[in-house]
């Protein structure tokens, strides 16, 4: 590669100031094929690898979910053994949270944060590559356990069940190392995002003009930095309890099982917002573009994001209302959980107000965003039920909670992930995804989702606890569970249609061009897919919607409304771009 | 007129085409949910009816449900209306509105007021849920003189709440993989000789039953839906709750099961609470005592025979215990 060398300072004082010279010792050919992926530090390639890997885990977790639903399709079913069933729901929950939803936001963030703020890469590209490979290692360590003994303590791994007395097999250890490896991955990724967003914004891109998706990735990073050390400590204590004779969680030696629950949920509840806030960001980007209208209350949405993150750190014990705790503690966590409903409600109102008096174009990203609002609302409302601690005594640890958490995680996070996928696929690949398949996928997923999970509220209200491998056919339990199982297969079909859509659009999708949606943010300023250096020139940012300004400026100058077409960029002609030149 | 009619027809057709997918989806969901919903009255609400505590939770839940329904229909209505009304049409121009501070402050306050109302409702219902009622003096078990329960209880932990008159039937619940054990009071301080039972708890009607919930291995959770909320049984801790079954439900067996993952057979860790009349309860306790005593005596006899010098009775058959007597 080219290096910059400053000539040795001249001995004569009268000589003119020395200019740096560029000397090329060697021009390396860019890697091609699989080595270009394995050795890359480019944020876009790392982003794509994140997206592909996490989607593979999504499909694995989905297959586990379908097996769970098959077992529950019949009362007193004997399809799966109790052990297999416990292993399946443990792997399902762990996979979806630690290997899908949290890291896929790192994938979208990796690809789009530098593009949206006008940077040429992340602040620490090598650290960025390390984040990705640590995630892969975590996934391998965890999934290797299926060849010996997967963990069977649920994704929460409550002590004392997770202690070596009750689960002596190494599955729990594989789970602990998954937490450590994916935790390190997320932690260094979060530091990288923070440094990038704080330091590498385009000229004029102040905090008040930062795209809302970038705001949410910033908040996501801060929450990860605050929450991950706690779970890392908690699982380390569990590891030493299991293997090195300590008794942090052992009540017979003065330890406390409740300590685990507190540490776990001190991480676990911020984790919920880590998974949903970037989704809020995607919706806040998609709605204005397809309603052709500015986002309603930019400052309120950005502020609500930060307030939700702050309050999200103060509500953890609402997962523990049934534990022996003083009433004052229960009241505190009820009130703090109530409070969090306020900024969340504000966001929903702002999104609807964004649609109000717009001209809404029914493209797939918009459908997923709107489907998210309608569905997430139900999850938010049932969350308020669960926050009332006496009511929670009836609902906690039942299928009502299972329904609630899937309304916020599937209706919330997964729908926004799909909105982001359909919205940004043209930027990442240069081709559009097929609209027909996209809409089919959306409707199948929406109907399948509600059929699967709405009825689960009633299953829980009728007294069926979660994490049971069988249930008696009392009342309508079997009928409700059958409806739920049918729904899960509709949902899976809908996801399958999108997978097929991705595969087909990669080869045959219509050519997108740099700005197919008439977007608002800077990623639409460059080519699709962007060249290795992202931008040849970075424009000065003058508002929240820089692309609108640029389009207006171009229209005023009477030129064709085409964004920048670079003359020679590094990806198309690397040799020319790196021609050695002498002198400044 | 003709033009107007054809324009109307056009609009109707467009509208129906636009609405078709929404309607289809709504119909499908309604079908999936509505049919069983009609069949079971308890589709929307938690189980209740076995105890005043469960009824109070049910009331609080229903109040929240009504409030939630208003919010749900209001917000979804606004969402669907905007989606329908502001679809991109030829010539339509989006209003370039960036916000409205007054409106935004108004709905922030509105949301805060709603949660405040919920908090107040919770605090109003809380005493009825948390604090046990007195037992029914005439129909309930006579706790002062039955000899089954100590006269006046002293709270055994800071979290334990007792009825205003300090009298209740205090049963200890112990969770273990994968069965519940219940220890009934016998009026003295020695807990080693108390009557006990596994899986099925028998309680008198119209009598306040307080529970001390513990676990001896992993965490479990005590839950009989019709009798109230669930309370975790965590090793090293004691949790408390109470219930009182009305006389009308005498003879009912309430079903429940462990609600905290406790291992492979978590699903099989069931619990039942059978409500009987106070007289039947006393008879049941007497029977349990007698059974325990008989079993103790049989065991003592067996032990004596096993420990007897082998030289005196070399015949191995004779040592197999009193139950192994030959006969038809």
Residue A345 touches partner B, C-beta closer than 8 Å: yes
Rounded CA gap, A408 and A373, in Å?
A: 10
Catalytic (active site) residue A404:
no
Residues with Cβ within 8 Å of residue A67, at least 6 apart in sequence: A80, A88
Residues of chain A neighbouring B259 (CB-CB closer than 8 A): 322, 396-398, 465
Residues of chain B neighbouring A257 (CB-CB closer than 8 A): 219, 234-237
Predicted confidence band of residue A487 (pLDDT cuts 50, 70, 90): very high
Predicted confidence band of residue B8 (pLDDT cuts 50, 70, 90): very low
* Percentages (nearest 5) of helix, strand, coil residues in chain B: 45, 15, 40
pLDDT digits (tens, 9 = 90+) for A525-573: 999 999 999 998 899 999 999 999 999 998 888 755 555 554 444 444 3
Q: What number is the average pLDDT over the span A495-510?
A: 96
- The candidate with the shortest Cα–Cα distance to A481, out of A455, A516, A443, A520, is A455
Interface probe with B: pick from A162, A359, A395, A443, most Cβ of B within 10 Å: A359
- Name the A residues in 170-229 with CB < 8 Å from any B CB: none
Position A22 pLDDT exceeds 80: no
**Which tokens in the block code for residue B10?**
């056009």
Q: Are strands A21-24 and B169-176 parallel, antiparallel or unpaired?
A: unpaired
Query: pLDDT value at position B309?
Result: 61
Query: pLDDT value at position B88?
Result: 87
Q: What number is the average pLDDT over the span B282-291?
A: 91
Residue A376 touches partner B, C-beta closer than 8 Å: no
Of B82, B217, B236, the CB nearest to A355: B82
Residues of chain B neighbouring A395 (CB-CB closer than 8 A): 46
- Contact yes or no for A166 and B217 at CB 8 A: yes
Q: Tell me whether 0.90 is exceeded by the ipTM.
A: no
Position A147 pLDDT exceeds 70: yes
Q: What number is the average pLDDT over the span A515-525?
A: 94
Catalytic (active site) residue A92:
yes
Of A300, A355, A470, the CB nearest to B83: A355
Of A323, A358, A362, the CB nearest to B94: A358
Q: Which residue has the tokens 């108390």?
A: B194
Residues of chain B neighbouring A451 (CB-CB closer than 8 A): 28-29, 32
Catalytic (active site) residue A466:
yes
Interface probe with B: pick from A86, A357, A464, A469, most Cβ of B within 10 Å: A357
- Contact yes or no for B232 and A345 at CB 8 A: no
Predicted confidence band of residue B319 (pLDDT cuts 50, 70, 90): very low
Q: Which residue of B has its CA nearest to A453?
A: B33
**Which tokens in the block code for residue B33?**
């949910």
DSSP assigned state of B209: E
pLDDT digits (tens, 9 = 90+) for A389-427: 999 999 999 999 999 999 999 988 999 999 999 999 999
Interface probe with A: pick from B99, B102, B106, most Cβ of A within 10 Å: B99
**How far, CA to CA in Å, does B7 sit from each of A96, B3, B4, B12, B87?**
51, 6, 5, 9, 18
Query: pLDDT value at position B153?
Result: 65
Number of A/B CB contacts below 8 angstroms equals: 283
Q: What number is the average pLDDT over the span B283-294?
A: 91
| φ/ψ (deg, to 5) at A176 | -60, -45
Average pLDDT, chain B: 82
Position B318 pLDDT exceeds 50: no
Query: pLDDT value at position B13?
Result: 46
pLDDT digits (tens, 9 = 90+) for A282-336: 999 999 999 999 999 999 999 999 999 999 999 999 999 999 999 999 999 999 9
Query: pLDDT value at position B161?
Result: 85
Query: pLDDT value at position A299?
Result: 94
Rounded CA gap, A493 and A441, in Å?
A: 8
End-to-end CA distance of chain A: 18
Residue A579 touches partner B, C-beta closer than 8 Å: no
- Contact yes or no for A458 and B36 at CB 8 A: yes
- Contact yes or no for B159 and A326 at CB 8 A: yes
Position A578 pLDDT exceeds 50: no
Beta strands in A354-394 (DSSP E): none
Query: pLDDT value at position B314?
Result: 53
- The candidate with the shortest Cα–Cα distance to A492, out of A19, A61, A42, A198, is A61
Q: Poorest-confidence range of A161-165, B2-6, B78-82?
A: B2-6
**Which tokens in the block code for residue A457?**
């509220």
Rounded CA gap, A396 and A401, in Å?
A: 6
**How far, CA to CA in Å, does A265 sit from each of A262, A519, A567?**
5, 39, 53
Catalytic (active site) residue A369:
no
Catalytic (active site) residue A319:
yes
Query: pLDDT value at position A28?
Result: 76
Q: Which helix (H) or strand (E) holds A520?
A: none
Residues of chain B neighbouring A350 (CB-CB closer than 8 A): 104
Sheet holding B270-276, edge to edge: B200-204, B270-276, B253-257
CA of A552 vs chain B CAs: smallest distance (Å): 15
Position A456 pLDDT exceeds 70: yes
Residues of chain A neighbouring B255 (CB-CB closer than 8 A): 463, 474
Query: pLDDT value at position B177?
Result: 93
Q: Which residue of B has its CA nearest to A342?
A: B111
Q: Poorest-confidence range of A260-264, B135-139, B235-239?
A: B135-139
Residue A436 touches partner B, C-beta closer than 8 Å: no
- Contact yes or no for B130 and A390 at CB 8 A: yes
- Contact yes or no for A359 and B86 at CB 8 A: yes
Query: pLDDT value at position A560?
Result: 53
Query: pLDDT value at position B95?
Result: 87
DSSP string, A537-573: S-PPP-SS-HHHHHHHHHHHTT--S-----SS-TTT-
Angle made by CA atoms A237, A240, A246, in degrees to the nearest 5:
90
Query: pLDDT value at position A582?
Result: 39
Query: pLDDT value at position B30?
Result: 59
Helices A43-72, A415-429: crossing angle, 10 deg rounding:
150
Catalytic (active site) residue A269:
yes
Query: pLDDT value at position A423?
Result: 97
Of B32, B71, B235, the CB nearest to A451: B32
Position A361 pLDDT exceeds 80: yes
CA of B4 vs chain A CAs: smallest distance (Å): 25
Predicted confidence band of residue B306 (pLDDT cuts 50, 70, 90): confident
Catalytic (active site) residue A186:
yes
Q: Percent of chain A, pLDDT > 90? A: 85
Position A186 pLDDT exceeds 70: yes
- Name the A residues in 455-484 with CB < 8 Å from any B CB: 455, 458, 461-463, 465-471, 474-476, 479-480, 483
Residues of chain B neighbouring A384 (CB-CB closer than 8 A): 64, 68, 115, 118
**Which tokens in the block code for residue A496?**
């399958």
pLDDT digits (tens, 9 = 90+) for A228-284: 999 999 999 999 999 999 999 999 899 999 999 999 999 999 999 999 999 999 999
Q: Poorest-confidence range of A268-272, A354-358, B87-91?
A: B87-91
DSSP string, A97-110: IIIIIHHHHHHHHH
Reduced to 3 states (helix: H, G, I; strand: E, B; else coil), residue A134 is: helix
Q: Poorest-confidence range of B100-109, B228-237, B306-315?
A: B306-315
- A 10 A CB-CB count for A220 gives 29
Rounded CA gap, B54 and B205, in Å?
A: 15
Q: Percent of chain B, pLDDT > 90? A: 57
Catalytic (active site) residue A505:
no
Average pLDDT, chain A: 91
Catalytic (active site) residue A185:
yes
Position B260 pLDDT exceeds 90: yes
Residue B233 or residue B3, greater confidence = B233
DSSP assigned state of A306: H
Q: Which residue of A has its CA nearest to B79?
A: A352
Predicted confidence band of residue B154 (pLDDT cuts 50, 70, 90): low
Query: pLDDT value at position A558?
Result: 72
Residue A71 touches partner B, C-beta closer than 8 Å: no
Position B326 pLDDT exceeds 70: no
Catalytic (active site) residue A180:
no
pLDDT digits (tens, 9 = 90+) for B9-65: 444 444 445 555 565 666 566 555 555 544 455 789 999 999 999 999 999 999 999
Q: What number is the average pLDDT over the span B216-226?
A: 95
Predicted confidence band of residue B231 (pLDDT cuts 50, 70, 90): very high
The one catalytic residue in A182, A185, A398, A569 is A185
Position B1 pLDDT exceeds 50: no
Position A583 pLDDT exceeds 60: no
The one catalytic residue in A44, A201, A363, A466 is A466
Catalytic (active site) residue A344:
yes
Domains of chain A: 41-567 (1.20.210.10)
CA of B160 vs chain A CAs: smallest distance (Å): 10
Residue B91 or residue A182, greater confidence = A182
**Which tokens in the block code for residue A4?**
């910059």
Q: Poorest-confidence range of A15-19, A281-285, B68-72?
A: A15-19
Q: Which helix (H) or strand (E) holds A19?
A: none
Q: Percent of chain A, pLDDT > 70? A: 93
Rounded CA gap, B123 and B248, in Å?
A: 29
């Amino acid at each position: 590669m080219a290096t910059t060398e400053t000539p040795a300072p001249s001995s004569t004082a009268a000589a003119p100031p020395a200019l740096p010279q560029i000397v090329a010792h060697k021009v390396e050919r860019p890697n091609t094929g699989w080595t270009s992926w394995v050795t890359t530090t480019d944020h876009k390639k790392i982003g794509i690898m994140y997206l592909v890997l996490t989607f593979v885990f999504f499909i694995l977790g989905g297959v586990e979910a379908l097996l769970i639903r098959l077992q529950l399709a019949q009362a007193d079913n004997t399809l799966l053994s109790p052990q297999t069933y416990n292993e399946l729901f443990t792997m399902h929950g762990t996979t979806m949270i630690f290997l899908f939803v949290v890291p896929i936001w790192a994938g979208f963030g990796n690809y789009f944060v530098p593009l949206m703020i006008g940077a040429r890469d992340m602040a620490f590209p090598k650290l960025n590559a390390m984040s990705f490979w640590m995630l892969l290692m975590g996934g391998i360590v965890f999934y290797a356990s299926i060849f010996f003994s997967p963990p069977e303590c649920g994704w929460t791994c409550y002590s004392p069940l997770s202690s070596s007395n009750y689960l002596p097999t190494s599955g729990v250890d594989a789970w602990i190392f998954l937490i450590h490896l994916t935790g390190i991955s997320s932690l260094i990724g979060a530091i990288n995002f923070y440094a990038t967003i704080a330091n590498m914004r385009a000229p004029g891109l102040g905090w008040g003009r930062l795209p809302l998706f970038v705001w949410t990735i910033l908040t996501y990073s801060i929450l990860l930095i605050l929450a991950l050390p706690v779970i890392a400590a908690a699982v380390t204590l569990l590891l030493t309890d299991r293997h090195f004779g300590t008794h942090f969680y052992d009540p017979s030696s003065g330890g406390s099982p409740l300590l685990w629950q507190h540490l776990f949920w001190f991480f676990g509840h911020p984790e919920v917002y880590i998974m949903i806030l970037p989704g809020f960001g995607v919706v806040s980007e998609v709605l204005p573009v397809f309603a052709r209208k500015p986002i309603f209350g930019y400052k309120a949405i950005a502020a609500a994001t930060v307030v939700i993150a702050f309050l999200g750190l103060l509500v953890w014990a609402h997962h523990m209302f049934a534990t022996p705790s003083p009433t004052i503690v229960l009241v505190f966590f009820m009130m703090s959980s109530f409070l969090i409903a306020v900024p969340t409600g504000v966001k929903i109102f702002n999104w609807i107000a964004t649609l109000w008096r717009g001209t809404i174009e029914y493209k797939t990203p918009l459908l997923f965003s709107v489907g998210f609002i309608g569905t997430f609302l139900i999850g938010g409302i049932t969350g308020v039920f669960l926050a009332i601690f006496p009511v929670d005594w009836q609902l906690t640890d039942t299928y009502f909670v299972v329904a609630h958490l899937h309304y916020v995680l599937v209706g919330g996070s997964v729908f926004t992930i799909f909105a982001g996928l359909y919205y940004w696929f043209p930027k990442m690949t240069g081709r559009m995804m097929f609209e027909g398949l996209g809409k089919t996928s959306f409707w199948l997923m929406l109907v399948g989702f509600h059929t699967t999970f709405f009825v689960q509220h009633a299953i829980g209200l009728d007294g069926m606890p979660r994490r049971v491998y069988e249930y008696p056919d009392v009342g309508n339990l079997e009928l409700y569970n059958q409806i739920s199982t049918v729904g899960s297969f509709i949902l899976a079909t809908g996801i399958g249609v999108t997978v097929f859509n991705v595969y087909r659009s990669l080869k045959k999708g219509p050519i997108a061009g740099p700005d197919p949606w008439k977007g608002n943010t800077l990623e639409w300023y460059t080519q699709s897919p962007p060249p290795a250096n992202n931008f040849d020139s970075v424009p000065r940012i003058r508002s929240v919607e820089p692309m609108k300004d640029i389009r207006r400026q171009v229209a005023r100058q009477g030129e064709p409304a085409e964004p920048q077409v670079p003359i020679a960029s590094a990806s198309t002609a690397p040799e020319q771009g790196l021609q050695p030149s002498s002198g400044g | 007129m003709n033009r107007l009619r054809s324009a109307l027809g056009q609009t109707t057709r467009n509208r129906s085409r636009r609405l078709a997918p929404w309607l289809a989806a709504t119909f499908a969901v309604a079908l999936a949910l509505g049919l069983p919903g009609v069949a079971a009255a308890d589709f929307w609400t938690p189980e209740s009816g076995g105890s005043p505590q469960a009824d109070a939770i049910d009331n609080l839940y229903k109040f929240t449900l009504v409030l939630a329904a208003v919010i749900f229909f209001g917000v979804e209505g606004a969402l669907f209306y905007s989606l329908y009304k502001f679809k991109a049409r030829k010539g339509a121009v989006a209003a370039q509105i960036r916000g409205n501070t007054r409106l935004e402050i108004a709905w922030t306050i509105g949301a805060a007021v709603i949660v405040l109302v919920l908090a107040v409702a919770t605090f109003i219902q809380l005493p009825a849920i948390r604090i046990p009622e007195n037992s029914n003096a005439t129909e309930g078990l006579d706790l002062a003189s039955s000899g089954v329960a100590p006269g006046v209880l002293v709270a055994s932990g800071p979290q334990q709440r007792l009825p205003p008159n300090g009298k209740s039937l205090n049963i200890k619940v112990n969770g273990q993989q994968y069965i519940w054990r219940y220890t009934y009071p016998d009026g003295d301080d020695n807990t080693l000789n108390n009557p006990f039972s596994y899986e099925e708890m028998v309680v008198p009607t119209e009598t306040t039953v307080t529970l001390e919930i513990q676990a001896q291995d992993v965490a479990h959770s005590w839950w009989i839906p019709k009798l109230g909320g669930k309370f975790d049984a965590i090793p090293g801790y004691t949790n408390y709750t109470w219930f009182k079954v009305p006389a009308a439900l005498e003879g009912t067996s309430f079903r429940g099961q462990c609600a905290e993952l406790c291992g492979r057979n978590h699903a099989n860790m069931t619990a039942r609470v059978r409500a009987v009349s106070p007289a039947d309860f006393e008879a049941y306790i007497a029977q349990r005592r007698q059974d325990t005593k008989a079993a103790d005596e049989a065991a003592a006899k067996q032990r004596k025979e096993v420990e007897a010098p082998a030289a005196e009775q070399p015949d191995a058959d004779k040592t197999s215990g009193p139950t192994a007597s030959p006969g038809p």
